[in-house]
A and B are shown apart, each in its own frame.
Chain A
């Protein structure tokens, strides 16, 4: 049986390398923050007859919005006109937006509104705070719960895994420059919930095996045994959840594409940290903290 605990350095190294690349990317190209974070507006329209980017831009220029991003609803670069147009502007007040939209009607013809989103600057900065608060609050709750049901060292090992998961998702979003919106926060928290779920299943096994743990057996070996006993479950659950997430990712439509992607990355990372990092971390903390003799008596067994 391959020892995960003995090879912990390798698993840690993989994580560290990945996160270094991600953090490098965060410094180099930062994040692609959507209007939920930065403020601004998105206007998604379907015109009665095809229009071109330059036609739309001409109208926007009259409102000092010439630098807006204009996308046609087609991925074919040979086609220069389309009925579907997506406009992204900076922060815009409501009167200005209405003026632009009525101008679009009078100059380019009637359209159907698919979506209009308009977010002020204050909302954006609040969302960043709220997101950070949500993630940290969830960590604190997990620490309290795991300390209550298991012990503090389990909680610390689990949380380190969660911090890594959240960082990994952030890394991916920076690396591929994917747009982040308010649903991103929801995805992050789901990842936190999922990852700690997997970690607890393994810790639960460790807790159970501690009851019959003999002094002759090395703590690391016992942790290894526990991880391997849960391996089928870990893999199966990851697979079935990934089926679901991949279905959302592929077929759920553009609106929740990035939401699904965040979960896809986060669940994969959650599987990795739960399976390969949390257990070894606990063993290290445990071995450093106290003499292995006292392991059995000191561990709260539920």
Chain B
């Protein structure tokens, strides 16, 4: 608006010149100064770049996967075969999906409770120095490369699993899930245990940060009602941290689903499904790609890419599911406080 012609203010001090009003208008729109413009461009560009990379990966996977799947003579989703170089090519991801999901579930079942327990101990029970020391060690665990976990798993964990496997077989063998025919313990259970150790640090670290951020006033609310330390954790800390625990678990699950080298070094893969977690049966997507990629034909590679696409989709579904769980509880979340 041109303030010099404003009839309401006839007696205003003589206005020196017009441009300031225009400058102000432009400033209000944003992005006039070079610094603003450059920063806007950079941040917008970063945002678009993420989408572009995601789209590029999806397009590549889908295209190459399509080349393979259209040649596939077996049912891609239900077949237990993996023979993409044969004539006709026959391959399916049923075994890989089973192995990936089962080993990840085992890893989560072990790692989530332990991680939450460690995080609670560090933030709410341990003396400050001890908590700091434990947190530091957990950070170190997170920095260990997965190939080292693989070496440890293959050379230490596997030879030491016989006792546990024997015990499970003796007392829980009747369930069928824990039946053991006595072979080398390079099965999905061993993989799950190794994955649990690998994803423990990330779940612990994220949960720890969430628990640390629980507002003091929520804890005091429980304390003032006469809550014991455990009741404070149950009433204030865990509800506040719930969505954080879910996010942390999803980060861990993402790593477990995609873990490659450590699984490849520990698992002895077979292309069938076994109800028992202790006997050989199943492989995982990532492990299968790693062990077959070097010798694969063009068709074989495309088939592996098709399996990679399925892993990609599973990861997306898992993340979407986690977001839904978090959103459903949103009005009760601590963020409203």
A binds B: no
